[in-house]
Amino acid sequence: MLSGTELISRLLGHDIAHHPPVQEGEFLWDETIQGLILGSFYYGYAISQIIGGRLAELYGTKIIYGTGILSGGISALLSPMMARLHFGALIALRILQGILQGVTWPSMHACISRWIPPLERPRFIAIVYLANTLSSAMTMPLCGLIIANHGWEAQFYVMGSLSVLWSCIWFSFMYNSPEEHPR
């Protein structure tokens, strides 16, 4: 049975048996460790989905959604340090980041239910989902440019700083419901 990489290599006419893997980067992590690091965020993220929606209903979107974004930014800022400390520390941080950011999607829906009139919700939700997809499509190449020009750590610092800045603005101007808003 061929692995995905071997199958693609053969389809493209390359023979990977004659090209041993080249060590790139500063970490000596095998594919299993890399997979655990990449997947660890989603292990945590899946845990807090239902809890996040309920917390936003009980305590308000301002604190739950804002804390989810803020904690993601702080986690991003800490990621290079944790990676250098030990891959286990990075995995633990990514699981925690996933748990804390997992509350954002469901709490966003709690926010929409309070702020958007019922007849406008379907269109607004469609715009939110489109914006989420577009932001991912824009962020990935941007991160690639940051990494190419300033190193892999820089993208964590830039994205983490933007998340922290966004959270400060969110906490300054957001209210849980129109009834709480002073204007």
More confident: 161 or 24: 161
CA 76 to chain centre: 9
Q: Are 52 and 104 in contact (CB under 8 A)?
A: yes
pTM, entire model: 0.81
What would the two tokens of residue 177 be? 């419901």
Average pLDDT over residues 74-96: 96
What would the two tokens of residue 172 be? 């300054």
- From CA 28, how far away is CA 121, in angstroms rounded? 48
**Total structural domains in the chain?**
1
User: Has residue 163 got a pLDDT over 90?
Assistant: yes
User: Has residue 75 got a pLDDT over 90?
Assistant: yes
DSSP alpha helix (H) spans, 102-151? 104-115, 121-150
In-domain check, residue 147: yes
Which range marks the domain in which residue 159 is found?
31-173
Most confident range (mean pLDDT) of 21-35, 82-96, 169-183 is 82-96
In-domain check, residue 158: yes
In-domain check, residue 3: no
CATH number for the domain that contains residue 68: 1.20.1250.20
